[in-house]
Amino acid sequence: MRYNEALSSTHSSQAANKTLRNTYGLLSLTLLFSAFTAGVSMALNLPHPGLIITLVGFYGLLFLTHKCQNSATGLLCVFALTGFMGITLGPILSMYLSLPNGASLIMSALGITGLSFLGLSAYALVSKRDFSFLNGFITVGFFVLLFAVIAGFFVQMPALQIFISAGFALFSAAVILMQTNQIVRGGETNYIMATVTLYVSLYNMFLSVLALLGMARDE
């Protein structure tokens, strides 16, 4: 009995390690591809598609990715999704680069986001604690941020914008921690969906940190 349990534990650990390697490998490629499409968007000086087109494009491609997550087509959907998000990111970066210290803001946001991701991932990998308790926080946080964003369309308050940006940064950090933990503990076995979750969290965290830095410098 103990031998079978040990063998099962070994197989589970190997499967988790494989999912983790595939997730990080695909995440690296999608981040590079997203950076490429953002660069193309900036070079062509493309306008931002707007909130409605961005949401329709994002959720439409996310739906396709979810439907095709267990096939090779799912990989194409992942790159389509992250490439599209890169295109939407390009005009935002161009706007910041037009500021006197825009380049330093972008580099600082990239550095903070990268270090945060490494720190959260390392903590999830080393501690191997069960972070499932974050599910409640993430669910509540999603609805709080949703209502705050809606309120932001009608009430233009600097304090509210700071709350939204800080909230998205913390929300993204919690998702990264929980998603990585689920992979390590064998709760997530599909590296395509794990990659999408981590990518979206990094995207949101980067934009949130960039906005906070901009507001801190009165930009």
Q: What are 202's two structure tokens?
A: 């990094």
The amino acid at residue 104 is S
Model pLDDT, residue 7: 42
Alpha helices, DSSP H, located in the chain: 2-43, 51-67, 73-97, 102-127, 134-154, 158-184, 191-216
Closest among 174, 144, 102 to 152, alpha carbons compared: 144
Helices 158-184 and 134-154 cross at an angle (nearest 10°) of: 150
Model pLDDT, residue 40: 95
Whole-angstrom distance, CA of residue 113 vs CA of residue 173: 10
Quick check: 104 and 213 in contact, CB under 8 A? no
Q: What is the CA radius of gyration of the chain?
A: 19
Torsions phi, psi of 41, nearest 5? -60, -40
Model pLDDT, residue 81: 96
Q: What are 83's two structure tokens?
A: 């490439």
Whole-angstrom distance, CA of residue 89 vs CA of residue 78: 16
Q: Which residue has the tokens 């921690």?
A: 177
Model pLDDT, residue 27: 95
Q: What are 182's two structure tokens?
A: 């689920």
Assessment of whether the complete model's pTM goes beyond 0.85: yes
Model pLDDT, residue 5: 47
What residues of the chain score a pLDDT lower than 70? 1-13, 218-219
Model pLDDT, residue 127: 79
Model pLDDT, residue 79: 96
Q: What are 155's two structure tokens?
A: 């009430």
